[in-house]
Structure 1
Amino acid sequence: MTRVMLIVNPSSGNETAEEYATYAREKLQQKYDEVETVWTEKRWDATRFAAQASKDRYEAVFALGGDGTVSECINGIAEKEYRPDFGFIPLGTVNDLGRVLGISMNPEQAIEDIPKLTTRLIDVGKVNEHYFADVLAIGSIPEAVHDVSVEQKTRLGTMAYIMEGARALKDNETLHFQLSLDDETAEFDSFLVLVALSNSIGGIQTMIPQAAVDDGYLHALALKRGKVVDKLNIVPKIFSGKVTENETVYYRPFKQGTVEIRENKKVTVNVDGDEGDALPLNLKVLPQHIRCFVPEGTDKEKLKRRLV
């Protein structure tokens, strides 16, 4: 008998998750003998549910929610010796992992695709004792994003992040970072340091074009301190896929490393959209660690790009 656990976050996607849960269950019943539906009420519930599914050796875990729910589920299975196949229906504000895996951003279509899904192995990042599937963000902009409420995200979507980020950018507050990545150490002042697993950050799929979900690397990108005009000049390069070529940008692919600051203050990292640990951070990549469901016909070459 095959079993799948459907983990539903009722506050995701403009609070429409409940409308899709029944439909998702119906589609999952076409693939599995037993479908168990569980509902999150607080942070880390999804991690606890996914860990239980792993312990009970369910064939699969599906998440119905946003980036935070996806990240929590991955935290629940990443450290386990037995890891169920993982799938999700994107309902959140950004949904970076769904975009790079070719999953429809239309929840109804994503659910409709469930019976004919195939699988791909994807990388997972580890930060201290936790795991992430998308991106870490450190600096004044992520600090401001921490203040975005659920109500703001529900009402404004991605614009809520943009508004708070713009306010932080105007303040021009930087930190002095030290990054030790594989065999290289770099120091600089920056208002934003990112560590990503794919080319999509904040829904922008041209941010780090060299990155792929299964290339076996983490990708560090930092915007160094500079004049306002320098920051404005970076914007068109982001959308043209040339931001990593800018002299005011630090970029480095790596497998393991540390991130710390020289200032004597508490600075927390934003992990897949939620507040995470305080610096310093120990980072490593777990190559092709989780088998993830993707739509049939997804371009394999795109998913298997390697660094050149």
Structure 2
Amino acid sequence: MKAFIVANYASGVGKCALFMPTVERVLQKENIEYSVFRTVDKETDIRTVRENINNCDVLICLGGDGTVNEVINAALAESSKTPIGYIPCGSTNDFATNYSLPTNPGKAMKRILEMNAKPIDVGCLNGRYFCYVAAAGAFSEVSYATKREKKRFFGKAAYLLEGARSVPKIKPISLHVETDGETFEGKYLICTFSNSSRIGGIFHFAKGMVDYSDGKMELALIEDPGNAPDLLLLLHDLVKGNFQNRCIRIVRTDRVRITSDSEIAWSLDGEYGGSYRETDLFALNRRFILLC
């Protein structure tokens, strides 16, 4: 067996550097040939993974949600069937939480080497892939606006600090949404298209509500309630997973088209995903092979 390791030493609070000795020790004990690539920048990372992903039996990724996003974009660009093992080292690790992936490197390596492959869905936004969420509106810029140094030092608290700063700036975005023959139009605080049971501590879908391999994703449209008391109630209901609130609309779908009079900034797996007036999102069924 041959393994290719993608290691993001800048992710999280330095976990990658702490985990790597265990990862290498396990591979050496099992007499598995391996090489290590330390991430540099998005363009270099994706290019390097593309060059190597079809020349190994397993790719092992150490990093945060953004690192997984790079690996997925490289894998799909190469139409690769190489299974991916993921050891979460980031600040939030929402993607890993969905699949109950171990955060202990020894346990993570044990599970990876069992080679229990699970095909999962991924999303696409205007030609760019994401592993669990595309988000626009309030707080969507928090993840990519939070400086890497803050993420490394404060961990999850960095997002909370940046989120608190953004509260006074909350403004609804006007969207025209088309999906499955239905049309929705209004002013929304948040819009997400996701394949995840939780999103950045804001959404918590009930267990069993999300199927990670059914070819569909959850479109969430959170309408502006128009006043402060109802906004507080809305945020409370979102965090608690109470989707009966009149301002919350959840639609399970495989495709959606969103248009706006102005450019809307999107976050893909916590990283900046571009700004668009016209946005096409769709799910790709069972296109990514995860070892879990």
TM-score, with structure 2 as normaliser: 0.90
Once residues 201 and 214 of structure 2 are traced to their aligned partners in structure 1, the CA distance between those partners, rounded to angstroms, is 20
Question: What does residue 266 of structure 2 align with?
Answer: 269
**Does the 8 A contact of 1:14 with 1:155 survive in 2?**
yes
Question: What does residue 238 of structure 2 align with?
Answer: 238
Once residues 155 and 192 of structure 2 are traced to their aligned partners in structure 1, the CA distance between those partners, rounded to angstroms, is 21
How big is the shift at 1:218? 1.6
- Count of paired positions: 289
Q: Deviations over 1:211-254 (max 9, x none)?
A: 222121121112211122222213443344323x2211121111
Question: What does residue 251 of structure 1 align with?
Answer: 250
1:138 maps to 2:136:
yes
Once residues 32 and 292 of structure 1 are traced to their aligned partners in structure 2, the CA distance between those partners, rounded to angstroms, is 22
* AA partner of residue 276 (structure 1): G
* AA partner of residue 175 (structure 1): I
Aligned identity (percent) is 24
* AA partner of residue 275 (structure 1): Y
Once residues 85 and 230 of structure 1 are traced to their aligned partners in structure 2, the CA distance between those partners, rounded to angstroms, is 46
Once residues 262 and 208 of structure 1 are traced to their aligned partners in structure 2, the CA distance between those partners, rounded to angstroms, is 34
Q: What aligned pairs does 1:173-192 form with structure 2 within 5 A after superposition?
A: 173-192=171-190
TM superposition outliers: structure 1 runs of 4+ over 6 Å:
none
Question: What does residue 303 of structure 1 align with?
Answer: none
**Does the 8 A contact of 1:6 with 1:25 survive in 2?**
no
1:156 maps to 2:154:
yes
Question: What does residue 275 of structure 2 align with?
Answer: 278
Q: What aligned pairs does 1:201-216 form with structure 2 within 5 A after superposition?
A: 201-203=199-201, 206-207=204-205, 210-216=209-215
* AA partner of residue 37 (structure 1): V
How big is the shift at 1:7? 0.4
Once residues 167 and 178 of structure 2 are traced to their aligned partners in structure 1, the CA distance between those partners, rounded to angstroms, is 26
Q: Deviations over 1:140-182 (max 9, x none)?
A: 4223443210111112222222232233333331110111123
Q: What aligned pairs does 1:1-308 form with structure 2 within 5 A after superposition?
A: 2-29=1-28, 33-56=32-55, 58-203=56-201, 206-207=204-205, 210-226=209-225, 227-243=227-243, 245-263=244-262, 266-279=263-276, 280-294=278-292
* AA partner of residue 229 (structure 1): P
The structure-2 alpha-carbon separation of the partners of 1:31 and 1:52, relative to structure 1 and needing over 3 Å to count, comes to farther
* AA partner of residue 20 (structure 1): F
Once residues 135 and 174 of structure 2 are traced to their aligned partners in structure 1, the CA distance between those partners, rounded to angstroms, is 15
Once residues 229 and 133 of structure 1 are traced to their aligned partners in structure 2, the CA distance between those partners, rounded to angstroms, is 34
Q: Deviations over 1:40-67 (max 9, x none)?
A: 11223332232122343x2211111000
Once residues 110 and 96 of structure 2 are traced to their aligned partners in structure 1, the CA distance between those partners, rounded to angstroms, is 15
Bigger mean CA offset, 247-256 vs 110-119: 110-119
Once residues 120 and 197 of structure 2 are traced to their aligned partners in structure 1, the CA distance between those partners, rounded to angstroms, is 13
**Does the 8 A contact of 2:50 with 2:77 survive in 1?**
no
The structure-2 alpha-carbon separation of the partners of 1:54 and 1:32, relative to structure 1 and needing over 3 Å to count, comes to farther
Once residues 48 and 120 of structure 1 are traced to their aligned partners in structure 2, the CA distance between those partners, rounded to angstroms, is 25
- Tell me, what secondary structure is at the counterpart of 1:89? strand
- Tell me, what secondary structure is at the counterpart of 2:42? coil
* AA partner of residue 228 (structure 2): V
In structure 1, the gaps of 5 or more residues are 295-308
How big is the shift at 1:117? 4.9
How big is the shift at 1:30? 5.5
**Does the 8 A contact of 1:178 with 1:262 survive in 2?**
no
**Does the 8 A contact of 2:201 with 2:239 survive in 1?**
no
Once residues 85 and 153 of structure 2 are traced to their aligned partners in structure 1, the CA distance between those partners, rounded to angstroms, is 27
**Does the 8 A contact of 1:122 with 1:213 survive in 2?**
yes
Once residues 110 and 32 of structure 2 are traced to their aligned partners in structure 1, the CA distance between those partners, rounded to angstroms, is 18
TM-score, with structure 1 as normaliser: 0.86
- Tell me, what secondary structure is at the counterpart of 2:45? helix
Q: Deviations over 1:256-297 (max 9, x none)?
A: 12222223xx33211101101212221111111112111xxx
Q: Deviations over 1:105-135 (max 9, x none)?
A: 3445424544335221111111112111011
**Does the 8 A contact of 1:30 with 1:115 survive in 2?**
no
